Structure 1
Amino acid sequence: MSFRKRARVALVAGLVAGGLSLTACAPGSLGSSTGSGSTSSAAPVTITVLADNSDQTTKPLQALIDAFNAKNTGVTVKLESRPQGTDGDNVVKTRLSTGDMDEVFQYNSGSLLAALDPVRNIVPLTDEAFMANIDDSFKTSVTTDGQVYGVPLGQATGGGILYNKKVFAKLGLSVPKTWAEFMANNAKIKAAGIDPVIQTYGDTWTSQLFVLADFRNVTAAAADWAAKYTANDPSAKYAVDPALKGFQRLEDVYKAGYLNKDFASAKNSQGLQKLVKGTGAQYPMLSFVIGTYTAMSDTAAEDIGFFAQPGDDAATNGLTSWSPGGLYIPTSISAEKQAAAKKFLEFVATPEACDVQTKAVTPSGPYMVKGCTLPEGLPAAVSDLQKYFDEGKVSPALEFLSPLKGPNLEKITVEVGSGITSAADGAARYDEDVKKQAQQLGLQGW
């Protein structure tokens, strides 16, 4: 299970291609990719969308379906739910392999999508006119062999540092852009009797943030690092710079004594509580926890801000982002059904559809559809996130650029973050973990 998926599952209970060509449709049929709001003269078509049963998925998706159906396009959409987690993955993979998939299905973007063999199983959308509306960073996460396969559902997530703005204001601190500034802030926070950095290794997945959220800094130093990493280039390993620094940052805060005393056993919810109360000042985390901590206090939405993980150079400081999941069309359905499914996806790829989702669920990040706007009054951290996207200071997380992610990363980062293993040894062990996975995947050069 990927980091992003493991994290999402853990919090939902409380909170990424030479394709098959399609048969052209006659003028006026559902195959037209224009005028999604107009009534079609073709016979009505009903399609279903398969999606996981979490509120974060079903609420906005049902709202989209209702809004689309109200347009009377000649296509009627219905929702079918599946389990979350491994059981849900098995449903998707089984239906794709047997040719029994719904006309549209919701699934992850990035490396998990790549594991579904999109070239064989999913209809490419690259040449559809509505794809011009999709943000390029999302397209990257659903691209295989030069073909784009999905449209986004929901919003992007940022990986970085949540911080208590009241603590920063009281101590006269500024948001850091370099690691040196970050560590200097930590010294002042500790001197004030507040835990500078919150860690929650009782939920082991949370230990990975300093490594994974540092990827923007890695790509700033070596733009082709992900490609070299996938190809087993010796210069693109975690045991050497620039990627080694993520492990070193994890080691730095431990050695400096900047962690909460209960870091080894604390859970994610407890870490958020410390942040909201101000007994801890900063928490390396993914932004989708915004909905969780805002429910902990009437003022938490404004009290907690967000900044990207600092690196070595303030000029290149930016955000590591996790793309939302997407909606996809299987190749197993008929040309008529594919045309109907595209009609629905065309609607999803509009600002109107973003507004529909916003009314259904409060956004926790920016949409990946051009022209979409976020409403006023959202939590401060959401506005902080949006600035990075507006300024173009965003890089996709590694899992959206490479199929490689070793399964034991969170175990290794717990050890490094606890002082059990050095940063250098932990990084070297992770490189070996990745090597085993690459060989299992049958990647060339490994």
Structure 2
Amino acid sequence: MRFRSLPLALLAATTLALSACSAGSLGSSDDEGGKVELSFLVDNSDSSLKPVEQVAKDFSAKNPGITVKVETRPGGTEGDNIIKTRLSTGDMTDVFLYNSGSLFQAIAPQQNLVPLSDQPYAGQLDDNFKSTVTAGDQLYGVPLGGVTGGAVLYNKKVFADLGLKVPATWAEFMANNAKIKAAGVAPVIQTFGDTWTSQLFVLGDFHNVSAADPQFAANYTANKVKFASTPAAVAGFQHQQEVHDAGYLNKDFASAKLDDGLKQLAQGKGAQYPMLTFAVGGMVANFPESAKDVGLFALPGADAAKNGLTVWSPAGIYIPKSTEGAELEAAKKLLAYIASPDGCASQAAAYAPSGPFLVKGCTLPADVPQAIKDMQPYIDTPGKSSLALEFLSPVKGPSLEQITVEVGSGIRRAPAGAALYDEDVKKQAQQLGLEGW
């Protein structure tokens, strides 16, 4: 299931009037002066708009013959429809920002987009990201911003005071929890008042699932394996049940919301919070000390040697086939800039990244929060990070967050929760017309 709170998934739907431009009028060039103007369509969230505006400014400063005009669109379903309509009518801007992964596949990239596999920077992109913007054997996009991690945020001061080490296995995690509870601190924060936050024990555990069964995503899509009957996959449900049954949750877990959980973590009233790293920026804004006091580790699994971070790919920047001539060459130059250390620095100057950049040679700013810095070793080490299941399979059930609330509250046992989720995905898989369902 796609997290509804991710920046590209929970954007406010502000209706924008679209001008009835022809494809040729979206980007313009002045043949006499050699000037080119590129149009760049982006959603209206700060996390997208601010870095794109900065990139446009800095790129034009380095390339005086090219100006970049940024246009905005709503997020959510309305924005999806705008993208698909403009592509189908040849009315798309010269460059545009859109999701990677399964939603990227839904815009028929081989039919609508310019392939980029022959560009010099193609080999500098992270393999995880490339797989989310590839169709057939061609690459079609470059990333905007950093990767988002699904992991455990933890209070480093609590760990230091109790002499705890970052766990790499579930047994180590539970042993730490016993010591944290004995010290009078809530070991694990849960915030079921925002039901989507209940899903991390399952969705954030997918690196451990794929490490144990590298073919799980493909077989899951083909209906050859199930969560309930795959030990590594059902483990996420079991872990959620275990922390509840052991009494390791904050007392207000049933009603607490995201902001409450971040406050408890920052203040050391709770020690660990399974969460997406996009939330770190808001936490630090409200509790500046958490920039250094809160760290991150991957959700522990059964095997320390295979433990790693589950990541959500950033959105991609694409060139539609309607972009031609001088605009096409300028657009390729813009994407090359974005996929470079200078482009990454430009983005970071405008908006704090939610995780490491997925371009070789790009580094995080020195002042990013410690939790974001802690992601870098996972990204840099081969085999220590994996894409979330939603980037590898179109099969997502709509009721996972309700199921994980029930399991995490002791209402439903883990095996029954996993089996119910297997039933939950069936209808959607059939609607997609997938073979085997």
1:438 matches 2:437? no
1:334 matches 2:324? yes
User: Is the 1:69–1:75 Cα contact (8 Å) retained in structure 2?
Assistant: yes
Q: Which runs of 5+ in 1 are unaligned?
A: 14-29, 31-39
Instruction: Identify the residue that residue 277 of structure 2 maps to in structure 1.
Output: 287
User: Residue 396 of structure 1: CA displacement?
Assistant: 1.1
The CA distance in 2 between the partners of 1:256 and 1:8, in whole Å, is 34
Residue 84 of structure 2: SS of its match in structure 1? helix
Instruction: Identify the residue that residue 370 of structure 1 maps to in structure 2.
Output: 360
Give the RMSD, CA atoms, in angstroms.
2.0
User: Residue 324 of structure 1: CA displacement?
Assistant: 0.9
Instruction: Identify the residue that residue 24 of structure 1 maps to in structure 2.
Output: none
1:24-35 matched pairs, under 5 angstroms: none
Residue 363 of structure 1: SS of its match in structure 2? coil
Instruction: Identify the residue that residue 82 of structure 1 maps to in structure 2.
Output: 73
Q: 1:45 to 1:104 in 2, by over 3 A?
A: same
Which of 63, 72, 81 matches 1:72?
Answer: 63
Q: Deviations over 1:136-160 (max 9, x none)?
A: 1110111222322210000011111
User: Is the 2:237–2:417 Cα contact (8 Å) retained in structure 1?
Assistant: yes
Q: Which runs of 5+ in 2 are unaligned?
A: 13-28
User: Is the 1:4–1:322 Cα contact (8 Å) retained in structure 2?
Assistant: no
Which of 198, 201, 216 matches 1:210?
Answer: 201
1:103 matches 2:94? yes
The CA distance in 2 between the partners of 1:132 and 1:241, in whole Å, is 36
TM-score w.r.t. the length of structure 1 is: 0.89
User: Is the 1:114–1:403 Cα contact (8 Å) retained in structure 2?
Assistant: no
User: Is the 1:207–1:410 Cα contact (8 Å) retained in structure 2?
Assistant: yes
Instruction: Identify the residue that residue 34 of structure 1 maps to in structure 2.
Output: none
User: Is the 2:145–2:354 Cα contact (8 Å) retained in structure 1?
Assistant: no
Percent identity, aligned pairs only, is 59
User: Is the 1:109–1:323 Cα contact (8 Å) retained in structure 2?
Assistant: yes
Residues matched between the structures, number: 419
Instruction: Identify the residue that residue 21 of structure 1 maps to in structure 2.
Output: none
1:51-70 matched pairs, under 5 angstroms: 51-70=42-61
Instruction: Identify the residue that residue 8 of structure 1 maps to in structure 2.
Output: 7
User: Residue 238 of structure 1: CA displacement?
Assistant: 4.3
Q: Deviations over 1:294-328 (max 9, x none)?
A: 12223111110100000001111111111111101
The CA distance in 2 between the partners of 1:167 and 1:333, in whole Å, is 54
Instruction: Identify the residue that residue 184 of structure 2 maps to in structure 1.
Output: 193
Q: Deviations over 1:342-363 (max 9, x none)?
A: 1211111111111111222223
User: Is the 2:4–2:196 Cα contact (8 Å) retained in structure 1?
Assistant: no
Residue 45 of structure 1: SS of its match in structure 2? strand
User: Residue 12 of structure 1: CA displacement?
Assistant: 7.4
Moved over 6 A (4+): 9-13
Higher mean C-alpha deviation, range 380-389 or range 86-95? 86-95
Residue 7 of structure 1: SS of its match in structure 2? coil
The CA distance in 1 between the partners of 2:88 and 2:423, in whole Å, is 31
Which of 376, 388, 395 matches 1:397?
Answer: 388
Q: 1:140 to 1:73 in 2, by over 3 A?
A: farther
Q: 1:248 to 1:11 in 2, by over 3 A?
A: same
Q: 1:120 to 1:11 in 2, by over 3 A?
A: closer
The CA distance in 1 between the partners of 2:9 and 2:59, in whole Å, is 32
The CA distance in 1 between the partners of 2:218 and 2:310, in whole Å, is 17
Instruction: Identify the residue that residue 278 of structure 1 maps to in structure 2.
Output: 268
Q: Deviations over 1:222-270 (max 9, x none)?
A: 1111111112213x54442221111111111111111112111111011
Instruction: Identify the residue that residue 258 of structure 2 maps to in structure 1.
Output: 268
Which of 141, 145, 151 matches 1:150?
Answer: 141
